[in-house]
C-alpha cells in the first residue's frame, strides 16, 4: 500500500510517501513561505529523487484540520487536484491526531497544542502507550481549561506543537502532574505521520472521493467571528 501525505495546517509545509508502513520519502520545511509556492515543488522533488510514479499510489492523505484557514484550503486544493487528476481517493486525517501519532508508543499522555490565539488552542488528548487511543477528540479550548483537565487525570503529559512556545510559561507555572515537551524532530506537524495514520484509515475504508473532500476548521475564521461580534454589539446598542 502506498499513501501520499500532505500537511499544510500550520507554518509547516510537508509532503511524504509511505509504502507498506515504511517511509519512502519526506520533504518538510518550517519556514515563512506560502504553501501554494512550496507543496507542489516539494512533491515534484521527492518524486524525482525516488523515481516514484504517482499513478501507483493508492490514496492521498491530507491533514484535514484544524489549523490555518489558508493553509488548510491550499492543502485541500492540492490534494483534490491530484486526486481528480490521478483518479485516487482521499483520506482526511485530523491534524491533531496526526501530531499525536508522532509520539506513538509514548508512556506519557500526549497533548498536541496548536496556537489558536486569544488564549485558545486546538488540542486533544491521546494515550499511545498501548497503541493509538483518542482520550479527548480534537477541539478548540482555553489553555487554562486544558491544563486543569490534564491535572485532573493525574497522569504524566508530553506536549508538542506551535502552542508550546506561546504557552510554555503557563504550562510550567500551572501543571501539577509531571510533564515534558517533545524534542525538535517530533514537535511539529509532519506529512509522514499524516500518511502513516492515513494508511490505517485507508485499511478501515475511511476514504472519500476527491470531489467530496473538504477541511474541518473547527472554528469560523477570525474575521467572520469579529463581524458577528460587531453585529451583535450593534444590535445590543440599538435595542
Q: Write out pLDDT tens, residues 132-157.
A: 999 999 999 999 999 999 999 999 99
Mean pLDDT for 95-122 is: 97
Query: For residue 119, is pLDDT > 60?
Result: yes
Q: What per-residue confidence (pLDDT) applies to 232?
A: 54
**What mean pLDDT is reported for the chain?**
93
Domains 2-94+189-222 and 103-186 share a fold: yes
Is the CB of residue 43 less than 8 Å from the CB of residue 29?
Answer: no
- In this predicted structure, the answer to whether residue 221 has a pLDDT above a threshold of 80 is no
pLDDT over threshold 70, residue 57: yes
Position 34 scores a pLDDT of 86
Instruction: Please name which of 111, 123, 115 lies closest in space to residue 68, comparing C-alpha atoms.
Output: 115
106 and 91 in contact (C-beta within 8 Å)?
Answer: no
Asked if residue 124 has pLDDT above 90, the reply is yes
The answer to whether residue 225 scores a pLDDT higher than 50 is no
Domain parsing of the chain, residue ranges: 2-94+189-222, 103-186
pLDDT at 223 over 70: no
H-helix or E-strand spanning residue 219: none
Query: The domain 103-186 is classified under which CATH number: 3.40.50.720, 3.30.420.200, 2.40.400.10, 1.10.150.20?
Result: 3.30.420.200
Band of the pLDDT at 33, cuts 50, 70, 90? Answer: confident
SS3 157: strand
2-94+189-222: CATH number: 3.30.420.40
**More confident of the two residues 139 and 32:** 139
Residue 228 confidence (pLDDT): 47
- pLDDT tens-digit readout, 144-190: 999 999 999 999 999 999 999 999 999 999 999 999 999 999 999 99
Categorize the per-residue pLDDT at 213 as very low, low, confident or very high, splitting at 50, 70 and 90: very high
Residue 19 has pLDDT above 80, yes or no: yes
Assigned C-alpha cell, 80: 483534490
In degrees rounded to 5, what are phi and psi of residue 133?
-130, 125
Helix, strand, coil % (nearest 5) of the chain? Answer: 40, 30, 30
Best CA proximity match to 157, nearest among 139, 135, 177, 141 = 177
Amino acid at each position: 500500500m502506498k499513501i501520499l501525505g500532505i500537511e499544510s495546517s500550520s507554518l509547516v509545509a510537508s509532503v511524504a510517501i509511505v509504502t507498506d508502513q515504511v517511509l519512502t520519502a519526506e520533504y518538510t520545511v518550517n519556514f515563512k513561505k506560502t504553501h501554494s509556492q512550496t507543496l507542489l515543488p516539494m512533491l515534484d522533488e521527492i518524486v524525482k529523487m525516488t523515481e516514484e510514479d504517482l499513478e501507483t499510489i493508492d490514496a492521498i492523505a491530507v491533514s484535514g484540520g484544524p489549523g490555518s484557514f489558508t493553509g488548510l484550503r491550499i492543502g485541500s486544493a492540492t490534494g483534490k487536484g491530484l486526486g481528480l487528476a490521478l483518479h485516487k481517493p482521499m483520506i482526511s486525517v485530523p491534524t491533531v491526531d496526526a501530531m499525536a501519532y508522532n509520539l506513538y508508543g509514548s508512556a506519557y499522555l500526549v497533548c498536541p497544542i496548536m496556537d489558536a490565539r486569544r488564549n485558545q488552542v486546538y488540542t486533544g488528548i491521546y494515550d499511545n502507550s498501548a497503541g493509538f487511543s483518542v482520550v479527548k477528540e480534537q477541539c478548540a479550548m482555553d489553555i487554562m481549561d486544558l491544563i486543569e483537565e490534564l491535572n485532573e487525570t493525574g497522569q504524566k503529559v508530553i506536549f508538542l506543537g506551535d502552542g508550546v512556545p506561546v504557552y510554555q510559561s503557563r504550562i510550567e507555572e500551572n501543571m501539577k502532574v509531571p510533564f515534558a515537551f517533545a524534542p525538535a524532530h517530533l514537535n511539529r506537524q509532519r506529512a509522514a505521520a499524516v500518511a502513516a495514520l492515513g494508511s490505517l484509515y485507508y485499511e478501515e475504508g475511511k476514504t472519500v472521493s476527491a470531489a467530496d473532500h473538504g477541511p474541518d476548521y473547527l472554528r469560523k475564521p477570525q474575521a467572520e467571528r469579529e463581524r458577528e461580534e460587531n453585529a451583535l454589539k450593534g444590535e445590543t446598542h440599538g435595542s
